[in-house]
Amino acid sequence: MEPMGVGILGAINPHNITTRASDVSPSPVKRLVKPSSYLLSPYMNKKTRVELKMTRPEWMLGNSIFAMRGEKLERVFETRSGELYSVRLIMETLAPGLEVDANVIDCLGAIMNHEKRSREAGCPLRHFFPTGCIKTLFARHLKLYGHNKHASIRKVKPRITNLKWKTKNNSIDCGVFTMLHMDNYTGEAPGKWDCGLVTESKEQSNQLRVLRFKFATKILLHEVNVHAARMYDLALEFDKLPPGEKMSIIITAVRNRDERDLKF
């Protein structure tokens, strides 16, 4: 005697019994969505290189922020902890011809403190304090926690090293020099240290101009910045404008920067 249903066309058996799942189409395989390669930030854990060429993202991000469009108090950089942020008006000081605001330097410092866990082999451990942390306050902090170096820190006198790329006629790019030194210096003797800058010249001015684009991109697209994706999208949107129109907007914005500041 055959089991019930065996050999009978259309009979119900454990192999063809209808279930709720079989009434609907099979669930599609979920597509793995990867973030844009630009948002993976090729700048993370790498020294900023001094060169006269820019990548496409650097050109787009720089143009977008230097166009000085949008709400001035909009946060364009913010750490995940919320302890440090920068607004559009401040980040715009990375534009060529402007003095870089100290807050921008602090943003880079936060990024580099985040990256120290993945520093290159042989690179000494470094920590960057906010630009407003003066020597006396730092020494007082060390004393409060019983550090035996607090007295020597209070007495130490800063020295200005004789670097081959020092300038006599450039007081605008101090912030750019500072950020490059932060990003590149790892304890070498001043005479043996080469950050990539040439001596003061037209070529050096061009190098510093390109560095402004590179630092803008490193700061705005870094994984530390919770607004990175939005900043990239805004850069893509601005890049859709005709080249001549983009350049005209940027030139006019930099020229009228003082007026934009007065409305702050």
User: What's the pTM?
Assistant: 0.78
pLDDT at 97: 94
Q: Which residue has the tokens 């909009």?
A: 74
Listed residue (165, 179, 173) closest to 43, CA to CA: 179
Tell me the H-state helices in 98-134.
102-115
- Based on its alpha-carbon atoms, the radius of gyration of the chain, rounded to whole angstroms, reads 27
Tell me the C-alpha distance between 193 and 120, whole Å.
Answer: 17
pLDDT at 47: 77
pLDDT at 137: 84
Span 51-74, pLDDT tens digits: 888 999 999 999 999 999 999 999
Question: Which residues of the chain are modeled with pLDDT < 70?
Answer: 1-46, 117-122, 263-264
pLDDT at 107: 97
pLDDT at 165: 94
